[in-house]
Structure 1
Amino acid sequence: MQRIKPGQAVQFTFAVDDFLPGATSAWRALGDGTVDAQGHYTAPAISSGIDAVVCDLEHDGVLFSGAYNTVQVSTLDEESKWNILDRFELSVPANRNTVYGNRYQQQQVDIVVETVPVDGKDYRLTPTEQASLMLVELKSNDDVHALSEASQGIENDWVYATRTTRNAFKLNGQPGFKDSPHDRRLKSPGSTIHATRYLHVNDPNAVSAKFYARFTKDGGGEFTSRDKDPTSGTVQVNVASLPTYQREQYSIERRRVKGKEPNDDGRPGDEYNLEYSSRDYWRFRCLNADFLTAQITNMKADGSIKKKANVSMIRWESEHPNEIMASYTGFIFHDRLEKQEANTQPERVIEFDEDLNKVFSDTTEVWGGEVVHSAFSSGMAVICNDRKDDVAYKPLGEQAHLAQELVIKFVDEYGNVHHVVFSYGAKGLSGNRNVVSWELLRPKA
């Protein structure tokens, strides 16, 4: 049981994919407190006794009980009554003992602290003592920084940092791993606490590092895991080399969602030559991992920086003054790091550069941004290419950035970064505005 004060918030987590892969979770509170869809529990404003926080799992229409925890809402501070530690050990899961040094992926580090009973009674570490638990890098004896629970990874020059909860990225290791830190806390004996710290590493060249833990006792005094046993009180974290992705590890395919698609027995190019007005989804994937988040950058294909970033590209069939046939792009992506309100579906729209309408004449406009959901799924990115036959040619002038390629930074579900350049074909080539091409960009460090 965890004791908290009225109005205090606590983040609960449950590793759904580890316990029941493919299941969806639903959090609920039994009592006067509230819990949101992400497991963020808020105690009531006044003391109300004991609440229960429950995480239910649903898979293929079947409801399972995942985990629960009890919370005592009280204005009283819990006293520290123990005197001697019996165990203070660290470990990492046997099948999850490596982490990418990409600042986002986490390494699970489990901590067990057991006290010696006093006069036959069990006393655990108090909540404040548990909150002071932190990892320490052995070589330097430097405390590992604590990240905000709202932060998905290290965004500064820290080499190591921890969270107390899982982030949105997958851990390395084999599937089917059942050990849940949340579940172990529920089953802890009266004098034992199980804690978990999720370690982030921001060093792609690192090989390994060792860590121990420490905490401060209420009333003073510091305890470290190496005091009890330097071996069981220390863990080694192995850092895996970042993968170097090759072109064959990606795929792109065209799906027409507006306009006619010719029969399979037609001639090559009929999809463009026989249909002058169409919308194609160019669906881009990494074959090894889903994309979790994406950012359209201000980079050029050569790695230099644009004066103005563009969200869309535009290309006319020619630059003849009477030209009216043109293509322009939009972007579709489901960013899984964006928070959603409970019980709501993410709103997906095609994102267009706002400067496109400055290029169009009064007689035409950008097509609507509604997404054809049957042609899109989370984890992929879509470059939407609209081809129209009513866009009068106009020198771009102040909108010249719309003629530039797109460079998009993707972060996959393991925290690895992919920079991809999307562009039209070379000017002068027949049909250069019909097809969206791509290539990998490897920015210099």
Structure 2
Amino acid sequence: MGRKYFGTDGVRGLVGAEPITPDFVMRLGYAAGRTLVRRENLPTGEHPAVLIGKDTRISGYMLEAALEAGFAAAGVDVMLAGPLPTPAVAYLTRALRLQAGVVISASHNPFFDNGIKFFSAGGMKLPDSVESEIEETLEQPMGCVESARLGKAQRIDDAAGRYIEFCKSTFPNELDLRGLRIALDCAHGAAYAIAPKVFHELGAEVVAVGVEPDGLNINDEVGATQPEHLRQAVLAHQADIGIALDGDADRVIMADADGELYDGDRLLYVIAAASHAAGRLDGVVGTLMSNLGLEHAIERLGVPFDRAKVGDRYVLELLQERGWKLGGEGSGHIICRDCHTTGDGIVSALQVLSALRLRGCSLSDACAPLVLYPQRLVNVRMPAGFDWRADPAIDAARAQAEHELGDAGRVLLRPSGTEPLLRVMVEGRDGPQVERLAQLIAHAVEQAFA
């Protein structure tokens, strides 16, 4: 049975519309709290404790208060960290030996969206089974423990400082960033007061942009999802390198001194090549959307490459299954399991910078062995419930494309998890051929329900 509220990255939606309302979020906190109490089975008188962090959206104040009330009513203590990157909540939950962590964020979405996502005591996203248990509890009436068992709340004043030191610890002790001018775009998001300090304290000259949040401007033409802002900052300030984070700082895009942008596939390759040279690379996980050129480049290193479903939680699951340490998505979610339990934009950028420092080369040089194939993605709107898999015309168009591409390309059709869209992706060595075949399949989809 599908889950009603939890998607691939927690509960997310438009603020003011269920499920992102004060009432629902309070009930969600209560349901999560009751689930936590049941699972922890602590001695009488002891309370489970959770950490709550948020990004810079104006709705964070409201939702933080609602979550706090729900957890307290369930008998769970709350530690409030204020604005903090999503990976910082994962780290601090583990470092402080808490029972769970909660992030109030809609990541790269605009300010009028928000969401709630949970981390386990080990700093990883909750298993599906726990999320399903929370949903079951949500269907029950909300109550309140007796007054003597209510949870308490307190603020953590040094949360940012703890996380800054953690990030710096993932950069080799024998290296520094002196002599490097970095243009850093924090998307007016959760890392606005943290990321500049990390890179500055490692020795870099930091030109920070996107560091003036007002509650409404998060991700607004800035950050990893709008990298043109980073490119312009690099050129305007004559920076040696550029780094762009998204609103909750779990993904990263970079730029070189010429303003050329480097997505997650290219950054993942740089980290992989450095890990391979150090004898630490056992395998790499990408997703169904990872560029075929990345797969071939990793295989040329003599290292296996595997693909997970789209979504960083699925990348992590496959990494754990394989026992590997490195994986990521083209969007800039990169998981370095030897450093962290989840994707972290700051930590990933530091791994790229350490690779460049060790080799004494530029981003362009480090990426030279990687040749990305032309890739075309077409989103086709279709009626809800339309069974595209059973349509013979769509199947014939896909078969024709796969036959023409042969071993030099691939075709991927997948429905969106949030919209009535079918995503048609074609990839190959020849750009015009890729474009033609993508439009061929998209047209077949459109005609199937015309």
Q: Structure 2 length normalisation: TM-score?
A: 0.23
Which has more helix, going by share of residues? 2
Q: Structure 1 length normalisation: TM-score?
A: 0.23
If asked which structure has higher relative contact order (CA below 8 Å, sep 6+), I would say 1
